[in-house]
Structure 1
Amino acid sequence: MLVNLWGLTKTISFLGCFVQLFIFLALGTTECILLAVMAFDRYVAVCQPLHYATIIHPRLCWQLAAVAWIVGLVESVVQTPSTLRLPFCPHHRVDDFVCEVPALIRLSCGDTTYNEIQMAVASVFILVVPLSLILVSYGRRKAFGTCSSHLIVVTLFYSSVIAVYLQPKNPYAQERGKFFGLFYAVGTPSLNPLIYTLRNKEVKRAFWRLLGKDARTKPWRAT
């Protein structure tokens, strides 16, 4: 994607498109599940602090991480081949910045009903269900205040992905989907470190010093 955005020749081979779509789906799906896992971890830490070590033990952490990666791989293995088996139009112009399922479905000249149903069902289980669980876990005001940085990341990521995969079929929505696709592929990962670290007091002080405003302006004391 970066090569196509920077260079003059904006092409990709069929094999390259297959690999890009496979990796994109696998990592995107895994991130959706991991954000829900992080919400569960923060919920237990805030609402059940005395039982945290008992509930969130190392074995459960490995199991949850494994589930996230397995779901991502399964989703990619199922949806990538069925998408690339579609009969594509002769011009082969992908109206997007990356080989993504909605853009490839729009490129097809055949019947895409099965693929659209498959994408809708996958979106419900991978996007709507984890997002609902995350919002339920933040129902407690205490958890909402403590984990606001994670909630900001969740809002940016899920809202942009939902705008791409659950959009109505009209030209305006397709153009908007291209922007949101670029945002969650590039913008959200770039903002994540800043959003998470601004909760750190040392990072806050460094940020204010960078702006010329020391957060701890205290008079010097002789010793």
Structure 2
Amino acid sequence: MKNSIKVLPILITTSLLVACGGGGSGANETSSGQLERNESTDLGQEDNLLLKFLGAPLEPSTANIRSGVPENEFDVSHTLSIWWTAYVYDKEGNPASGSFIYDSNVYLSANNILDTNEDELLFSMQCKTPSSASQEYGCSQYASFQCVYNNDNTFNCLSLPLDHPEGFKDHIVDLTNFFDIIPKSAHIFYKICLTESQSCDIESTEIIFN
């Protein structure tokens, strides 16, 4: 489901200048708000920590889990199920000890080049990894969300599970300007950044709206 991303002078998924990529490639952000894949620069070297998505088959994904429906296609009233798993590693590539806060942003783009100034921000959330019994954050190393595609060109999104104090529900996003044609190909971009070191990772999934 993961879609490769073209090399252009920009891309994104956090508020920094660079990211370390999951699945072997990084992301590079410029002042224009865009991000470029396939160039790896680590801004987290000062504390030697890297935040990374897990790779296939557990890479970040967006799917239609309704029976009998292609998992990457969505009709009005269908639900987009969005999830990922991410871990913090030390400079040797071993799981880092301790707990960490990271920022997550999920965007909807009309193409495979993410521009945070132009593309639609579906939602953002702070996550804390690893998870704990007293977890207040809406996500941990595991993150799960759902967005319903409504007939008025809005998404109604929520974070799972619902009982976390820092989670959200009934988050409405107006996508009237985005849905200029139907059917429409699109990309969901996932951007996560370690709050302390600004080490980031970015991935995407290609989907179709009918």
TM bracket, shorter-chain basis: under 0.3
Provide TM-score, normalisation by structure 1.
0.23
TM-score (norm 2): 0.24
Bigger share in strand: 2
From the CA coordinates, give the structure whose radius of gyration is larger.
1
| Structure holding more helix per residue | 1
